[in-house]
Structure 1
């Protein structure tokens, strides 16, 4: 138990301790003791006095610290009050209304401009007011101009909903055409600062500017309507006229007295001349019902024809506000032009039909002339062979009887000329056979070694006389072809290479290319200029004589090109001027050498199962390479198919327009020079004549071409073209649609 209460001030505690010490000292001085207890008590009293003095010093120091703290607190209070007065003075100088709410939404302070326009609130806006009470008082104030249909309670609910957002800014309308912009900002401790700004001047300026723009837009719309060649009338949701131009009165022959603001649509319709008749099954009752349809009305279009011949195009369209717009266009000239164009089209169709009949007659005559020519060449060649052979015998017999060497030399030249004539007649006979539709090939498995080895042995002597080296690489492949014509093709290529090669070598070899064999004949001759590569396959065409020591007949490559086309063996040419050339013939492979031949393997000239003869199939062939186009044409025509040839996309579309027919199928090269490619041409073709069976013939094996063909649903045929695949495509194109 303490003798001094800790709750007493230090001065009181010191006073009590001094009294206790004095009492103890007095007791020690006057007390008599019979033992040493008195002295012990004295010592304790002295010690207690020392402790009291120490405690008194501590209390004095504590009291000094307390006085200093009270002085600092007083100074801080003065500074805080000064800061508060300064803050109050600062926010009072603001031109906006300012209020600060603490994190508990209790008003801490505000300036005199805060809610100054709400005079009925009086002294209610003071510190301690909650934010909800503030909103409730504002919502019920007569100074607040509530929006139409909004109650004070609903406004207060919406205001509190906005208060939950972290950043708020909106305008409040006041009575007397005044506006306040209210913005809220959150403080760092979660409080809220509310700022009210008078934006009445800004709102009024904005409204004036908006009205000015509205007047300007109205004048612009009026000027636009007056300058339109169309007649325009605008009606509101009650079908009353709110806008129009003078042109509509002129077109409908309506009096200008009726075209005034507020005129009803029914009144205008009743005054419309009865000489107007409507088309598209629209009557005046239908038009009246459409105008009364409200916002659900759709677009309406019809023509109004006047008895005098005028034709008006009328278009009606509803608007979002329930009104509608009607436009009237004079299309009399367009309809007259369409009628004249229709008459011209009928006349043109008649002329095209007559011209088509003439072309068909001319084509039939040309075909008959071509057939007659082929028959004549075949017959003449056959008949000429006997007298030429006889003449050679007579010349040989005469050469043995002439002793004069000069005469024998002249006779030898005559025999050489007859030999050339014989070779020419044989070539003409081959060409006439290849051009004949009655030609049938003996297609069967042919071991390439049986064709190439004997041929190289025969041609080796000719090459040796010119100092050339002829090499032949044997092959064990078995191909599918006509052995006689295949030998004739390779023989002409080798002979042509030997003839035009002055020095070096000629090589014959075979390369495997998937399911085909490519027979290549290479030489080290002068090469073929690019300008001559298409022409060398024409009849009687030879390169410049300086490129060869011997004169050729100019029919060897023509026979090669025709035979390859009829057999379906694509022929390719690579050449570089000054370094030589390479001719390659691609033949389908059936198996390795040594397999037994099947006598039933002989097939007609079309692939098995093609059966195209007499089908009347018309195929559009678009190929920019003349050699490939000619080869494909000869092959397909040999199967009884009619071919329409074109070099590029523009030529193909123009040719179809001229002929006025749609092909049954299309073979399109993917790369057609600078113009559109095969897939693009197919899209244009399908847009004109509808979908037709089509195949893209290309050497491009990229995924892009494959995806384009798959997307369009068309076939892709890779070069070198497989005869069997081409036959299957044409057979499917000729098949009747189920």
Structure 2
């Protein structure tokens, strides 16, 4: 039916009106036509059909209009509810008696109440959502209402204020003009934001002055001056365990609120506050101090050490006075402890070097002990450097399983062979690197085609980069250089492995630039970058950047081997990095005289774009032998390694024997001897860490589902669908040789 006379841009009512007119006209034509005419009858039938379609279209349009009206009503209600909630939130904040402000995890002001702006009127007009905390502090430092301490400049005040802001919890006082005082309290929120309260404490300060003035005579003033000029934080309690004196250093070290640091405050209030605020990172020290204070008999002198969550070491000394009162002093010994740790490390290094020189002088035992040391270094390095080619080999083998074309199979076999050849080459290179310090390393300087080295490494790492969703690009080259092929490949492999490992998102680029008579091999990434202060440390053995993504996968030997190999070969090594943007390593190698190879020889076959399944280790806990065998057969058909156990005892024994932890656990709920799979999962996690787990059960009760939710365990109801099980395994990031510890 041709409806071109109806304009689709008209409203629904207008379209209905036109269609009804069309139907009415057709009906009139039918009525005017001859009743005996076959053509009139046909027109009549078409008119009836048209009317039915018009009615159906009208009903559809009416239903659509009704749904649209309902959706608009719900949207209006939701917007009204959101506006009401926002209004209630601001009303609640405005009702707070203190000045309140909230900064998010990026230290940007989210909201504040009017009392927060009243404290410093000349800063109020600068307050508003989006204000950075650093700018807020700078604005405050220029306020004419703040009175800085006599020995502190405005810049010093800003520096100290920003330093205290980095703590988890802090309380401090600010003096204002007109002899007014303000207590500022900051507390980190669970989302790493900052909640700030400003409380007027002028009256408390004045009351404290009056009470202290009443107690102070000439001798008391002398004692007070002495206490305030020593470097220890001191608090004095009477026989009733009530505070009678303290010095300014105590406030600096412990930052107690002004409400607690008052004459007459019981020691129990101090203990409760520090326990609630979690100032110290352990409870044994504060508990021991409390037991000493509550001792009913004569207290012996107490010496102990406390460690705060801000990484400050405090030497604590307690002494009882003749009237059963007591004095507690706190000394900051952080510098001494850090120096002691550094000295211990230096002594350990010195002892190790002395031992190595002693062993070298023992000719009868030198060869055997050197072989053992080389073997140990080789094993440690292999655990780091064999990760990439072995992982690549597993991925290629997985693609071989699914390959159907003969050429694809041959191509995959060649890639697997190439990966294992890489392992053999690495083993030989590591054995040579272990001799670098002794000067016995054997070099074979030849012409090395860089294109072949880069193409082979790109093929090995491409699948690994794909798993991390990184864009790995290898630029072909025809340059030939003079170097040792094994060591040069080892250098580039380590640099490329680090780039892929430490880059979370973005790109990794491997290429070569010609610079005069030298070729500069460059590896660039978009990773986190390396701070300038840590660039020298990363080339030492077992040094890793703690903030790097995936740093736990390596042992910190890769760049140490790169530096030594470059020094041995005379290749210049250069590092360029910017924190937050990425890192580039550049190795400069001498070009061979006039030699190049065709670019077509460097490319080889394109890498497969097929996505390979992960190589997982799955622990299966099932007391039914037939079910256990069936589940194991299914998993192994997917290329998954399985560890079988009939219960918790068998699983513990198996994990202890193998010395590895699985990537995921599949446990039946009903086990032998009244045990269940959730208890087994909990027990294994207590020794192996939080391992992903799924409970396979026919029990569909709410109790089992709730326990799984609380423990973070996936619930798979029997019979298990293979597709769901495979999807679960695909969601687990494969672990690489996780040692039990």
TM-score computed with the length of structure 1 as normaliser: 0.25
In terms of Rg, which structure is larger? 1
